Structures are given as C-alpha cells and as structure tokens.
Structure 1
Amino acid sequence: MNKGMDKLAYKIDYIDGILTFTIDREEKRNAVNDEVMNGFKEIVTTIYENKDVRFLIITGAGAKAFCSGGDLSEFHKLQTEKDAFGMLSKMGTILYEIATLPVPTIALINGTAVGGGCEIATACDFRLVAKDAKCGFIQGTLGITSGWGGGTYLLESGLKQDFALKMLVDSSTYDADKLYEIGWATNIFEGSKEVALENFIQHMRKIHPSVHHAYKEIKLRSWKEKNMFERVMEEIKLCAKLWESDEHIEAVNRFLNKSNK
C-alpha cells in the first residue's frame, strides 16, 4: 500500500500501520474539490480492505493550511438547491464514513482549518493543532451554514453546548490556545507535525487494535441511537437551501473577486 500520488490533488502514504491522507493543493490552500472527495472515498475503502491499518491521519500540504473548505472557484458553479445538495451530500456522506471508521482518526492540523476544513477536523476523533493555526466555522460569512455535517459533529463532540453553538454562530476563526481552552483541540504542538503525531500515538501503539475497534464501536453505537446520519443529512439540506440564496451568491462573488485581485 505504499504509494504517493504526486500528480493528484491528494497523497496517500502508508507506513507501519499509519495511513496518512494529505490534501495536496497548497496553491488553493488545500481546498476540497471533486478529486479530493474521491481520494477520501479511496481511503475509506482501503481501511476496510486492509485490517493492518491502525490509524488514519488527515493533514494538509505545506505549513499554511490544513484545509480551507470547499473550492468555491469550482463549487460556485452550482447555483440551485438541488445541485448544491448533490455536492454537499456526496462529501457529507464520505465524511460520515470517515467519522464512523473502526480505527482512531486524527486531524493533524498543520495550518488554517476553516469552513469545510473545520468540519473535516471536527469529524475526526482527535485534533492536533499547530500553535499558530487558526480554525473556525466561517460559513456564516458566506450566507450558509456548515454543509458536510460539521455542525452536528461539533454539537455531539462533548464541548459545552454554549461553546459549541458560539463557535458556529461566531462564524470566525479561533486561535489554537482558545481551541484548546474550550476543548476542541486535543493537543497543541510547535515544530514538526510528524513528531507531534508520534508523541501523541506512542501509548496507543502499545494497545492491541481490537481494543481500539471496541471503543470506537461504543462511540458509534451511541451515534446510531441518536440518528447521527439522518441528522447530518438534515443539516446538509439546510445548507443546500441557503446555497441558492442571494446572500450566498453575492458573498461568494465578493470572495472570488477579492481572491482574483
């Protein structure tokens, strides 16, 4: 399974039980496009087909961005609620598949994680955040809500409900110290993200994978009882409705015009 896909929008590496998925679109601040979505789908399949995978790591290329969310330069072409729902539900379903994997999932947040990037990180079991990184659910600044299920994952994450809700309605970024204070960040690190990861999993490595699988099953049983997938899809429907609003279209046009200058 050792492979690097340099020509694609992502890279997949496997070393000693650790499967690492890197969004490799540094020039786009590691924004998610259709190709990245398909890459995420590939790692889900890989983990279920290869029982030797012990951990899934999601990170971004470079040092500036973990993931800036969906690539608006591509997805802005989706004008209607129906079209938006198609894209949002595709990524939302894939993210749910990642969130419900039987192995521990770790977001190795090397830089900014905003919008959908913050949703991806929230859906992971653990979040290791670089000291200078900023993260936030900024979707509200674009006239929409979280569209891949991130709001639902956040409200079920164990954060105090007022902190979680404020993180959503603020629609702004938080620094690493604040993220750790409220309980969103599992750890904060400085320097090498690889060293930070190794330090974090050193004790987990000593435990048999069957134990990890059992604890994940306990967590996911609770999610099933709470109808998590159905709630995620309802969240996506709300975002799709807002997607075709004038407020969203105008906000994205302003963003793209600013980005192109």
Structure 2
Amino acid sequence: MYQTLLTSVEDRILTVTINRPDKLNALNRTVITELADVISRIYTDNDIAAAVITGAGPKSFVAGADISEFLELDGTGGKSLAEKGQEQVFSRIENAPKPIVAAVNGFALGGGCELAMACHFRLASENARFGQPEVNLGLIPGYGGTQRLTQLVGKGKAMELMLTGAMIDAREALSLGLVNHVTTADELLPRTTTILKTIISKAPMAISRIIALTNIAALGDAGGLSREVAAFGELFDTADAKEGAKAFLEKRTPEFRGS
C-alpha cells in the first residue's frame, strides 16, 4: 500500500513502521506524504483505537530528514516543507483523538526526534539516541522541535541541546522526561503495545479529552481549567460514563462503547 511505510493492525492497534533502513529511515517527501495518509486513517477508521510509530531495522527510528532534498530548496521551498510537515503530520499526530505512541528503536535525530516528540508519549530501546542537530547544517528544527523539546525537558536543557547539536542516550532522555520508559530492543514493541492495550480498554471519549486537555496544558493555555470543567460535565451525558460508574458499583469490568 505504501512505498516507505509498513502497516499492520492487531488488537485494534496500528503499527506504522518507517521502512527506509538503507537511509536510516530518513524523512523525505514520500515519507511525509504517506505518513499524512496513515494519520488520516487513524482519525477515521473505527477499527483502529491506537497506533505505534517505529522504524525498520535495529539502528534507527528516524535519523532526521533526507538532506539530499535540501540542496534544491530556497526560502520559499523550505517554509513550504516545514508547513506541510507540521500541518499534515506532526500537529495531526499531537492532536489525534486516539493515542499515538513512538517506539524509538535507535537514532531519533532532527525530524526523527520531532516525530517522536509529536507522539503522545515515547518508549525507547537501550540503543536509542536523541538530538536536534540542525544547527550543524546552519538550520533550526522545522517540525516543531523548538517548541516540543522545550515543553518536554525545560528551556535550559532544550536550549543546550539545540545550540550544541549534541546527542543524548536513552537513559539521559528518560531522566529528562523525554521518554517514559527504556527497554531492551526485544521488549520495546511488546511493552509499547501492552501499555496501549491498557489505555484502549478505557472509555474512548474520555481518552480523547485527556489528550486534548493535556496538550492545552503543555502550551500554557490559561483557559485549560475552564475547558477541563466543560469537558468533565459533557462526559456525564455519555453512555460510557454511566457504564463506568455502574460497573464500579457492581464490581465488574466496564464495557465501553465510545458513546
């Protein structure tokens, strides 16, 4: 179905594998276009409750952008490239109503780090490496890196990483809050899907609102508390909320239906 992606669905979890191992899964125009398509599928396909994004091979999640495409770009082309990526892929991942998690299995540099950060949270294998080395090319992150890295690790550390172009390993990423868990390579996808199975056993409408409100909090939106109150009230009109309370009182597992 895709030139640069592998996709599979099991237990309502879509696994998306960026499949350019000979290029360390670098992002080119085709990858961005195909990611945009698969993200739209996540939004609309009721048989998909969650997704994992990972990279093919043992070395790399996504080792940045395909630099060979940069040589033909001028200022207008560079802006267009960033806008397309942000609008069609990175922001769509961040704001998806279903959980999308990055399973980082190696290098996550430049656009790869930005792709991981756009996901709702991240797991990393022990060989993962993270960085925003765009400054080495005379550039800056263009897919949201300056914003999301600062949100996740704080201004000082984000500034240092972007200004030096340095890489950090999985354990440092864990200590900074950039990733949630570090596993062996073999455990990475099973651990990720186990967490997602727990999440998707909950009420879908509650999940979508938690994602949206947490994104608002990350942006420092002063209206977050009032929007939380409104969403809290709205959920009381759902069948899932009634089912959740009833199941709790009856000491049984709730059967949520997304309504």
**Aligned to 1:203, what secondary structure does the other structure show?**
helix
**Counterpart Cα distance in 2 of 1:191 and 1:31:** 20
Aligned residue for 1:53? 48
Q: What is the CA distance between 1:210 and its match in structure 2?
A: 2.1
Equivalent position to 2:80, from 86, 102, 107: 86
The one of 189, 195, 198 aligned to 1:200: 195
Q: Does 1:36 align with 2:31?
A: yes
Map of 1:164 onto structure 2:
158
What is the rounded CA distance, in whole Å, between the counterparts of 1:97 and 1:198 in structure 2?
21
C-alpha separation in 2, matches of 1:17 and 1:194:
15
Please report how far the alpha carbon of residue 191 of structure 1 lies from its aligned counterpart in structure 2 after TM superposition: 3.2
How far 1:188 moved relative to its partner?
A: 0.3
Q: Is the 8 A contact 1:119 1:151 kept in 2?
A: no
Consecutive unaligned residues in structure 1, runs of 5 or more = 227-261
- The match for 1:209 among 182, 196, 204 is 204
TM-score normalised per structure 2: 0.79
The corresponding residue for 1:23 is: 18
* Structure 1 residue 189 displacement after superposition: 0.6
Q: In the alignment, does 2:184 pair up with 1:182?
A: no
Q: Is 1:8 aligned to 2:8, yes or no?
A: no
Conserved 8 A contact 2:13-2:193: no
Larger Rg: 1 or 2? Answer: 2
Amino acid in structure 1 at the alignment position of 2:177:
G
Give the aligned residue type for 2:34. Answer: G
Instruction: Tell whether the 8 Å contact from 2:105 to 2:128 is kept in structure 1 after alignment.
Output: yes
Contact 2:133-2:166 at 8 Å conserved across structures: yes
Q: CA RMSD in A?
A: 1.8
- 1:153-172 Cα shifts (integer Å, max 9, x gaps): 12223x23222222222311
Q: Quick one: distance in 1 between partners of 2:53 and 2:42?
A: 13
- Work out the CA distance in 1 between the residues paired with 2:220 and 2:100: 18
- The percentage of counterpart residues that share the same residue type is 28
Q: Is the 8 A contact 2:63 2:111 kept in 1?
A: yes
Q: What are the superposed Cα offsets for residues 53-93 of structure 1, whole Å, 9 maximum, x if unpaired?
A: 22121111011000011111123221x11111111211121
Match of 1:191 among 179, 185, 188: 185
Runs of 4+ in 1 over 3 A off after TM superposition: 220-226
Letter in structure 1 aligned against 2:202? I
3-state SS in 2 of match to 1:113: strand
Indicate how the Cα distance of structure 1 residues 135 and 221 shifts in structure 2: closer, same or farther if over 3 A, else same: closer
Q: Does 1:153 align with 2:148?
A: yes
Task: Give TM-score, length-normalised by structure 1.
Answer: 0.78
| Helix, strand or coil at the partner of 2:72 | coil
What residue is the counterpart of 2:254 in the other structure?
A: none
